[in-house]
Amino acid sequence: MIRKLKSGEYRLYARKKDAKTGKRRNLGTFPTREAAQKHEREVQYFKRH
């Protein structure tokens, strides 16, 4: 899940909420939405290989 921050950057969050905290894990902050989407695809690939 990608959210835009007030600073103008985009942050990638885990799809599922963390059981301990009840929040989504931060998976990185990126300057552009395209960069965040690219990294999300890489994460999904890594989870299955």
Domain count, the chain: 1
Q: Which CA distances in Å does 6 have to 10, 14, 27, 44? A: 9, 19, 18, 26
CB 1 within 8 A of CB 24: yes
Calpha distance 23→17 (Å, rounded): 5
pLDDT tens column, 1-49: 999 999 999 999 999 999 999 999 999 999 999 999 999 999 999 999 9
CB 38 within 8 A of CB 28: no
For the entire predicted model, the pTM comes to: 0.85
pLDDT tens column, 5-17: 999 999 999 999 9
Cβ neighbours of residue 45 closer than 8 Å, sequence gap 6 or more: none
Instruction: Look up the domain containing 25 and give its range.
Output: 2-47
